[in-house]
Amino acid sequence: MPGKVTLIENIQGLAEKDIPALQQQHGKNSFQLEKPRQLLHILTDIIREPMFILLMIACIAYFILGQSTEGIMMLVAICFVTAISLYQDVRSTRALQALKQFTEPEVTVIRDGVEKKIRSEELVPGDVIILEEGNKVPADATILQENDLSVNESVITGESMPADKDEASGKNVLYQGTTINTGKCYAAVTATGSNTILGKLGKTVSMITAPKTLLQTQVNRFVRQLAIFGISAFLLIWMVNYLKNGLPIQSLLFALTLAMAAVPEEIPVAFSSFLALGAWQMSKLGIITRQPQTIENLGAVNVICLDKTGTITENKMTVKTIYDFEQDALIDAGEKLRKSGALRFAAMASEQNPFDAMEKAILETLALYADHDLTNFPKQVYEYPLAGNPPMMTHIFYENETYVAAAKGAPERIIKACRLNDDNAAKIIEQARQQAQKGYRVIGVASAVHTENEFPNRQDDFNWKFKGLLCLYDPPRENIAQVLKQFYDAQIDIKLLTGDFAETAINICQQVGITGYLKYVTGDQVLQMHENELKKTVEEISLFVRMFPEAKQKVVNALKSNGHIVAMTGDGVNDAPALKASDIGIALGKKGTEMARQAADLIVTDDDLEKVAEALKQGRKIFNNLKKAIRYIISIHIPIILTASVPLLLGWKYPNIFTPIHVIFLELIMGPTCSVFFEREPVEEQLMSQSPRKRSLSLFQQGELLLSIMQGLIITSGVLLVYYLSMYSGDSINETRTMVFTTLIISNVFLTFANRSFTENIIKTIRYKNRLARWLLLISVLFLAALHLIPPVREIFGLAPVQAIKLFLCVNIALLSVGWFEVYKTHRFKPGKTFISHKH
């Protein structure tokens, strides 16, 4: 029989003063399949970008034509573009590195005789670590002592069944990347980093190459389509110009102008920046996203599955009443509890150093109200871990040459194990239901005496005697009703998946405001349902009771099969399968197990469910702002492309009004506007009252892309009108270029402010808090002033002084070209009209 259960104490572990030398010798407890991106790698990627290549070709062409001033300007422009790209890349990379530090697993070690938590990468050989059920093994180690230890080693061996472990040679080795399935142990680290078995196999659990997400695919496809259009237009303009003037290099420059205007290099930059910076900013709020791509699904979540214990409730249990079967009486909390043997046997069936809230409550109540001699347990010699559906667990003690067994678990399982007659079983079940209706969590307790040296293979096979029911209360969180209301207001459906009795769950639903609780389904019923029946049931039912891991996972998969984007919360080992199966697995990081955190996509560091509502809000905001940025880029690129191509194709007097210098400086304005300004935009008020966006194959909903194209075409009409009036009123090409360039820049400023919202007009959006708004306006005004007032700048851009009345015309045409959209929003979305932007 196993004899050691109480884990060893007074371990000193390594001394902190020795750690720096050991880390210097062995390195960090981490390994990477990919080298971190250095400055040289980032610069190499920038040089490969289409825009950089186009700029270099234009620069070389200017020098070949002997236009050294323009060539130097292009070199300056190249430096600016490189600096902006470098800044955005470094900014995103730093955000991801900061995010990685937040998600770095922690491990409990003993150093200088004191338990402390450190990041797993700081472990060194010789460290003594403490591992519990649900923990991931952070390094190769040798077991010093264990209690009921089994380990899932599938990542190393491929074997799905957990392996039993103990201190004996051959069974005392733990491997990095494996997971503690049951029990607890002390272990000494033997190898870290690349020296572990996992490291030598070249595997890493934390670095999994995920397939491209739907949004990534959509953005890449959209950019590819625009790039194909740009290449085609480039070749067409080059050919038309060459046929007209017979000058290949000059024709190339004009064609490059159009190519630069058509390449939407801002979109992929904005996409990566929005996700990386969004994830980093959320981490500062205590919401950790394990992968930035998680944010893509956050804004689309329309069903959230909640666990009860620790999510809706405080996870701070107290024993309220005990039903003593021998006395056939309910005993209230207080002094009377000392009369119940059920409490003592429940405590004996609990871990003596518990991390479970229920077991802590049982032991605290026993110590508070029971006699001193009742808290002195005999020597524990064996344990049957929590197992089965519904579950139970058993501890075996040795006293006076006799074995005493204590068990606790689901009432129906304990009743069945005790083989009670129908009348007694019905009476106990009815008592359990009455207590559950008060919102109590109810467990059954049993005891047995065993005289033989051999124990049964199954814990159910002892000669059990039913002792009673323990009724524990876990109160709802103070703010939970308001949080759940936020979900409902955001048109997100709530499903409660709990292991408790239906009566307990109904009581909680009534207290916190979860609707649709009068009908419910049990875990057994879920497993027995055919796929189509379950898919129909999950649409109609909001309450699922007596649930276990397989049933939770099956419900999540059924909701996903129905096309829902599903978020799932949890904190225990048994929640991990459902967390992994959901679109957004949300682990409670403070009280949750390491297995739950590793399975989740999102970790709430302080266990506050209100942070989940905030995460969903941030997810919607980031996606909404990303779409604003992309729609802005589409709208402003259209007039640049058409102004560079239409006059040539129509045979106007001045067919090529722009050169690469003009387009690149427009790009220098548009790039930061797209990826910096719109990323800082706040959450729009109506965003959280709209239904979640429907995930589809198209990046834009019906009408959205058409509206942005229309914005671009109307701005084009205004710019071409200025172009035509100036050209045929006798202005020189430089004067015409000044008018066109000025109108385009002013239109860009107006468009930026107009696109801050597609439903609210400027009267509302001007009050949006974005510190970059005034800087954007100031820089644009200074740039325009430099173009018109500084002669050397005018010469570089090929501009000429124009009369104030003509500038006034530019401003007004730009205002009309963009301002119609404000009138449209005011009329289309005026108060009283119902609008849902994301149609299902």
Q: For tokens 């609008």, name the residue.
A: 835
Q: For tokens 């009108």, name the residue.
A: 721
Length of the chain in terms of residues written: 840
Q: For tokens 């090529």, name the residue.
A: 656
Full DSSP string of 602-621 = EEETT--THHHHHHHHHHHH
φ/ψ of residue 288, rounded to 5: -100, 120
The helix/strand/coil state of 385 is strand
Q: Do residues 542 and 475 make contact, with C-beta atoms less than 8 angstroms apart?
A: no
456's CB contacts (< 8 A; 6+ apart) are 462
- Looking at residue 534, its pLDDT comes to 94
pLDDT confidence band for 36 (50 / 70 / 90): low
* pLDDT exceeds cutoff 60 at 100: no
Cα(610)–Cα(285) distance, rounded to whole angstroms? 11
Cα(547)–Cα(541) distance, rounded to whole angstroms? 14
Q: Output 9 or 653, whichever has higher pLDDT.
A: 653
Q: Give the best-scoring range by mean pLDDT among 164-168, 232-236, 687-691.
A: 164-168
Tokens of 674: 């797209």
* pLDDT exceeds cutoff 50 at 6: no
Q: Output 43 or 448, whichever has higher pLDDT.
A: 448
Among 114-128, 147-161, 741-755, where is mean pLDDT lowest?
147-161
Among 67-76, 429-438, 457-466, where is mean pLDDT lowest?
67-76
Cα(795)–Cα(130) distance, rounded to whole angstroms? 73
- Across residues 818-839, what is the average pLDDT? 69
Smallest Cα–Cα separation from 278: which of 92, 456, 87? 92
Among 242-251, 535-544, 645-654, where is mean pLDDT lowest?
242-251
Cα(140)–Cα(192) distance, rounded to whole angstroms? 7
Q: Give the chain's domains with CATH numbers.
A: 1-76+105-206 (2.70.150.10), 287-313+477-605 (3.40.50.1000), 318-473 (3.40.1110.10), 615-828 (1.20.1110.10)
* pLDDT exceeds cutoff 90 at 525: yes
- Looking at residue 333, its pLDDT comes to 62
Cα(252)–Cα(238) distance, rounded to whole angstroms? 6
* pLDDT exceeds cutoff 90 at 659: no
Cα(481)–Cα(637) distance, rounded to whole angstroms? 47
Cα(620)–Cα(626) distance, rounded to whole angstroms? 10
Cα-based angle 548, 553, 558 (whole degrees, multiple of 5): 130
Among 81-85, 133-137, 422-426, 820-824, where is mean pLDDT lowest?
81-85
Tokens of 837: 């932007």
- Across residues 461-473, what is the average pLDDT? 93
pLDDT single digits (tens) 614-639? 888 888 888 888 888 888 888 988 89
pLDDT single digits (tens) 215-255? 666 666 766 776 677 677 777 777 877 777 777 777 777 67
184's CB contacts (< 8 A; 6+ apart) are 7, 130, 131, 132, 133, 146, 147, 148, 149, 351, 353
Q: Do residues 469 and 428 make contact, with C-beta atoms less than 8 angstroms apart?
A: yes
pLDDT single digits (tens) 367-388? 887 665 556 788 888 888 887 8
CB atoms within 10 A of CB 258: 27
φ/ψ of residue 364, rounded to 5: -65, -40
- Looking at residue 789, its pLDDT comes to 92
- Looking at residue 260, its pLDDT comes to 67
- Across residues 464-473, what is the average pLDDT? 93
pLDDT single digits (tens) 15-33? 999 999 999 898 888 765 4
pLDDT confidence band for 209 (50 / 70 / 90): very low
- Looking at residue 572, its pLDDT comes to 66
pLDDT single digits (tens) 735-774? 999 999 999 999 999 999 999 998 888 888 888 888 888 8
pLDDT confidence band for 461 (50 / 70 / 90): very high
Q: Do residues 515 and 508 make contact, with C-beta atoms less than 8 angstroms apart?
A: no
Mean pLDDT score of the chain: 81
- Looking at residue 50, its pLDDT comes to 61
